Amino acid sequence: MDLGLLAAQVFNGLVYSSILFLVSSGLTLIYGIMNVLNLAHGSLYMLGAYLGITVVVYALGGTPLAYLVAFLVVPPAVGLVGAALERTLIRRTYPMGEEYQLLLTFGLILVFDDLVKMIWGAAYINFPDPNSFLGGLKFGVYTLPLYHVILIVVGFAVFLGLWAFFGRTFTGKVMRAAAMDREIVEAMGIDVNRVFVTSFFLGSLLSGLGGISAGPLYTASPGMGTDIIVYSFAVIVIGGMGSIGGAMAGSLIVGILRSLAISFYPQLEIVIVFVIMAAVLLIKPTGLFGRPEFERR
Amino acid sequence: MVTRREFLGMLGGGIVGLAVGGALGYTLAPKGPSPEEMAGKLPGVPSEPLKIGGMWFLTGKFGTYGDMAKKALQLAVDEINASGGILGRKVEITLKDEADRQNVLQNIRKMVEEEKAEFLVGIDSSGDVLKLAPVVENDLHVVTVITHAATPKLTACNKLHYVFRISMYEEPIDVAAAKLVAEKFPDVKKVASIGPDYAYGYDSWAIFSTNLKKLLPGVEMAEPMYSKLGTEDFSSYIDKMLAYEPDLVFSSLWGGDAATFVKQAVSKGLFDRIKYYLNPMLGATDTLKAIGDGNVPAKAQVWGSGRYWFLYPPHDVWPINKAFVSKFKSKYGEYPPYVSATSYTAIYALKAAIERAYVMKGAWPGQDDVVAAMEGLAVAGPMGPVAIREDHQGVYSVFWGRLAKGAPNYPHPILTDIQVFDFGEVFPAPGQTAVKCK
């Protein structure tokens, strides 16, 4: 086996894992705290990419500074969109049951795709690649683009940040508590609605961060949220639904195995993710990290 | 291969001009009477409008193709209606969305049976066109002009009567690719490839590689790679290519995939380590816009082809292209994509055939009269003269061009150094294809 290629593919896998983690951690967080499976989570990722293009290209002319501004501005903006969705639409489904949530959030996917088409057009748009000014590190015949390295760092930094947030901060602890027993938390005088809107804000922010991170690598098009949401579901099922650590483990497994499969067993590229998912479901139906931070009763 | 200079000579010599002299009239014609003034004036022509049904992907991920087609149809129909319609009949268009995947055949039937479309145009997907052809042939019996779907099987493996294809299909472009390599880059030793993971990707590689092996027997080829449509991250494919150390990469990726691949290959340094990159689907303005000037590789030569390129045939020798490009640009603010050119030509092909059939018959023609008039017809389209062959395939010259930055004259990268392959060199004979029919 070609060790250089193996190393390059593990690196590629880590980049993809990092993007997957940003999106799936938001998905699993919202599910863990609120028991809402937001199918439109991928649309928020798409929104992150499109808003990123708007800030970077149309507003700021593609300078290196523009990327920094976009990374600071876009994720909170997407977070606010998510929070607004929770306040206006999704909260209405809480008394109605999960099938209504699925119908509503599926409908939102179509709405977002059409909105994107109305605002930015149906054609795929090029998001300029920051590697053009960042460059890359040479490694044999391979190049490790610097932006890819940054993405890996961002993914792990967000993981550590979330871990500290839920483990160390008051808000984080309240969110976990609300996930475990809503009534007790309410009885202690905490506004649970605020907890819900905060978790939607945070989960959507993470998806928006995924979108702005991935945007410069990919090409933006309406419907770009579909693929990532399918893989994100696989990730959180493998890792354990509601578990941030599980989202990280699942992202690493899916990202790296997909990359290795392309190189060494191309026929397995798509199927491998779902084979692992099925195997995990058979052996440990709650996922690898079956004891989620947000355990529910 | 014909160089640009020789091609100009051919046009100047009138070899091609002779075949299409008659059809040139439409761009030069002064404004005629309106359809209202013309209505009922020609004996045997019905007075109600002539309805043409169209189907493309109007929504969803591939909705951009429907958008291109709609723009061109509007342009053609406005032009035709401003000068008397078709034999005095005003032309109207009715559209259905190919993205309505479960109802493709029902919607086609609805256009014909309920909305009374007399002719059909369009179809983006090769799968759809192969399902549709038998229905049109055996059941609907309306002349249908395909404008996009590119599988060789449609015209090579079927005996068609009502179905025609005006657009270039994949085989001549891939045959020309092999010729381009053999003639211009005979130093190539190792070839790697990637294509979309469905019939087109496999067919395209099969046609290119079998032809190249015949022309350059010593070339070594890597196991072909295939990625699913809409792949976002090509890094793993690119590194696998780098490990093989090819000097030429053949890619049949299209649309957003083609653009994403080039962009990621730039940042992964692929174009610093190969000499040539060929993509038969690169000559599409939607793809070129998404690539952007910033991703035009400086070192490796990137070559592309397509069904139509807005700068070819050159505007100074082919005024029909010049007129089409300038009308399209002034109306829509962009250079015409290939689906626009083929859809526009489809409407004019129908017009020419109906008029020809009317003259032959002396009355409004039936479907079989239009079929007879379509066979052997030559239409002057923006892509040059298009001759409809006995297998119902439109044939015209294939181009390959080298990718270059568009600035300062164009808003997106362009193809330059155009190499022309006369259709006689690259079209298989009727009924023949390198792809297996069954």
Give pLDDT, residue B369: 96
| A-B C-beta contacts closer than 8 Å | 121
pLDDT of residue A291: 62
Residue of B nearest to A132 (CA): B267
pLDDT at site B219: 96
Measure the CA–CA gap between B96 and B108, rounded to whole angstroms. Answer: 8
Pair of tokens at residue B218:
């010593």
Strands B190-196 and B144-146 turn out to be unpaired
Residue B2 pLDDT greater than 60, yes or no? no
CB contact B232 to A (< 8 Å): yes
Q: Both B318 and B390 in a single domain?
A: yes
Give how far Cα A31 sits from Cα of A24, A48, A243, B82, Å: 10, 20, 9, 59
Give pLDDT, residue A227. Answer: 85
pLDDT in tens, A203-254: 999 999 999 999 999 888 888 888 899 999 999 999 998 889 999 999 999 9
Q: What is the pLDDT of residue B6?
A: 52
B284 in any annotated domain? yes
Which residue type does B154 have? L
- Domain coordinates of chain A in residue numbers? 9-122+134-283
Q: Torsion angle of alpha carbons A76, A77, A81, A82, nearest 10°?
A: -20
Closest CA to A49 of A199, A218, A206, A185: A218
B431 belongs to a structural domain? no
pLDDT at B401 over 50: yes
Report pLDDT digits (tens) over B169-214.
999 999 999 999 999 999 999 999 999 999 899 999 999 999 999 9
Contacting residues of B for A147, CB less than 8 Å apart: 267
Report the length, in residues, of chain B.
438
Predicted pLDDT of residue B245? 95
ipTM of the complex: 0.89
Asked if pLDDT for residue A285 goes beyond 90, the answer is: no
Kindly state whether B124 is in contact with chain A, defined as any CB-CB distance less than 8 angstroms.
no
Burial (CB < 10 A; 0-12, 13-18, 19+), residue B424, is exposed
CA B438 to mean position of chain CA atoms: 24
Range of the domain at B38: 15-168+313-395
Assess whether B154 and B252 both reside in one domain.
Answer: no
User: Which one of A142, A228, A232 would you mutate to disrupt binding with B, by most B Cβ within 10 Å of its Cβ?
Assistant: A142
Are B341 and B289 found together in one domain? no
Say whether residue A295 is in contact with chain B using an 8 A CB cutoff. no
Start-to-end C-alpha separation, chain A: 49
Of the candidates A5, A129, A138, the beta carbon closest to that of B243 is on: A5
Q: Which residue from B minimizes the CA distance to A17?
A: B233
**Cα distance between residue A167 and residue A154, in whole Å:** 20
Who's near B119: CB < 8 A, 6+ residues apart? Answer: B52, B53, B142, B143, B144, B145, B350, B370
Structure tokens of A277?
């998912």
Residue with tokens 């109802």: B103
Average of pLDDT values for A4-12? 93
Please, are residues B201 and B170 in contact by the beta-carbon 8 Å criterion? no
Q: Are B390 and B284 within one domain?
A: no
- The neighbour count for residue B409, using CB atoms within 10 Å, is 7
Question: Looking at the structure, do residues B119 and B186 belong to the same domain, yes or no?
Answer: no
Query: Cβ B67–A122 below 8 Å, yes or no?
Result: yes
- Indicate yes or no: CB of A136 within 8 angstroms of CB of B267: yes
Whether A155 has a pLDDT exceeding 80, the answer reads yes
Lowest mean pLDDT among A9-13, B35-39, B95-99, B281-285: B35-39
Same domain, B138 and B225: no
Instruction: Give the domain CATH number at B377.
Output: 3.40.50.2300
> Is the Cβ of B267 closer than 8 Å to some Cβ of chain A?
yes
Q: Please write the tens of the pLDDT for every residue from A18-38.
A: 999 999 999 999 998 888 889
**Residue B16 above 80 pLDDT?**
no
State the nearest Cα–Cα gap between B99 and chain A, in angstroms: 13
pTM for this one? 0.88
Residue B63 in any domain: the answer is yes
What percentage of chain B has pLDDT greater than the value 70?
91
Chosen from B267, B270, B339 to mutate, greatest number of chain A CBs within 10 A: B267
| Residue A4 vs residue B328, higher pLDDT | B328
The candidate with the shortest Cα–Cα distance to B143, out of B344, B369, B340, is B369
Q: Is B247 inside any structural domain? A: yes
Can you tell me the distance from the alpha carbon of A293 to that of B213, in angstroms, rounded to the nearest whole number? 60
B30 within a domain of the structure (yes/no): yes
Q: Looking at the structure, do residues B180 and B282 belong to the same domain, yes or no?
A: yes
- Over residues A89-126, the pLDDT tens digits come to 999 998 888 889 999 999 999 999 989 989 998 788 88
Is residue B157 classed as helix, strand or coil in its secondary structure?
A: coil
Which residue, among A63, A109, A126, would best test binding to B if mutated, counting the most B CBs under 10 Å from its CB? A126
Q: Which of A270, A271, A275 is nearest to B227 (CA)?
A: A270
Determine the residue among A2, A5, A9, A12 to mutate to test chain B binding: the one whose Cβ has the most chain B Cβ atoms within 10 Å: A12
Does A216 touch chain B if contact means CB atoms closer than 8 Å? no
Give the C-alpha separation, B425 to B133, whole Å.
28
User: Tokens 């290959």 map to which residue?
Assistant: B265
What tokens were used for B377? 């017809």
Residue from the list A128, A143, A219 with its beta carbon closest to the beta carbon of B269: A143
Check pLDDT > 50 for residue B11.
no
How many of the other CB atoms lie within 10 Å of CB of B359?
A: 11
* Sign of the alpha-carbon torsion through A199, A205, A208, A210: negative
Residue B3 pLDDT: 54
Rounded distance between C-alpha atoms, residue A136 and residue A115, angstroms: 36
CATH class of A9-122+134-283: mainly alpha
Report whether pLDDT(B21) > 60: no
The answer to whether residues B82 and B112 belong to one domain is yes
Q: A12–B236: do the CB atoms touch at under 8 Å?
A: yes
Q: Which of B232, B260, B269 sits opposite A227 (nearest CB)?
A: B232
Structure tokens at B406: 């568009």
CB atoms within 10 A of CB A68: 13
CB of B327 within 8 Å of a chain A CB? The answer is: no
Neighboring chain B residues of A145 at a CB cutoff of 8 Å: 267-268
- Cα gap B224→B201, rounded to integer Å: 10
B116 and B80 together in one domain = yes
Distance from CA of B263 to the nearest CA of A (A): 7
DSSP code at position A9: H
* Partner A contacted by B410 (CB < 8 A): no
Give the gap in angstroms from C-alpha B241 to the nearest C-alpha of chain A. 9
Q: Which of A142, A219, A258 sits opposite B239 (nearest CB)?
A: A142
Higher pLDDT, B429 or A290: B429
Distance CA A243, CA A290 (A): 8
Is pLDDT of A296 > 60? Answer: no
- Residue B31 pLDDT > 80: no
Q: Is B230 on the interface with A (CB under 8 A)?
A: yes
- Does B253 touch chain A if contact means CB atoms closer than 8 Å? no
| Radius of gyration (C-alpha) of chain B in whole angstroms | 22
pLDDT above 80 for B114: yes
Among all residues of chain B, which has the CA nearest to that of A109? B60
Residues from chain B that touch A262, judged by Cβ atoms under 8 A, are 225, 236-237, 240
Is the pLDDT confidence value at A286 over 60? yes
**Is B245 in contact with A141 (Cβ distance < 8 A)?**
yes
Query: Is there a domain that residue B435 lies in?
Result: no
**What confidence category does residue B20 fall into, taking pLDDT thresholds of 50, 70 and 90?**
very low
Q: Do B243 and A126 touch (CB under 8 A)?
A: no
Q: Closest chain A residue to B256 measured between Cα atoms?
A: A124
Helices A146-168 and A3-34: crossing angle, nearest 10°?
A: 30
The total domain count for chain B is: 2
B243 touches chain A (CB under 8 A): yes
B406 and B345 inside one domain: no
Write out pLDDT tens, residues B138-174.
Answer: 999 999 999 999 999 999 999 999 999 999 999 999 9
Say if the Cβ atoms of A5 and B260 lie within 8 Å.
no
Q: Is any Cβ of chain B less than 8 angstroms from the Cβ of A4?
A: yes
Does the pLDDT at position B14 exceed 80?
Answer: no
Q: How far is A276 from chain B (nearest CA, A)?
A: 20
Report the C-alpha gap between B432 and B430 in whole angstroms.
6
Assess whether pLDDT exceeds 90 at residue B117: yes
- The answer to whether B286 faces chain A, any CB pair under 8 Å, is yes
Verify that B224 and B275 share a domain, yes or no: yes
User: Nearest Cα to B226, choosing from B245, B243, B241, B248?
Assistant: B241
pLDDT value at B283 more than 50: yes
Q: Inter-chain contact B290–A262, Cβ cutoff 8 Å? A: no
Q: Are residues B80 and B151 in the same domain?
A: yes
pLDDT tens for residues B247-272? 999 999 998 899 999 999 999 999 99
* Mean pLDDT within B286-313: 94
- Are B259 and A5 an interchain contact pair (Cβ–Cβ within 8 Å)? no
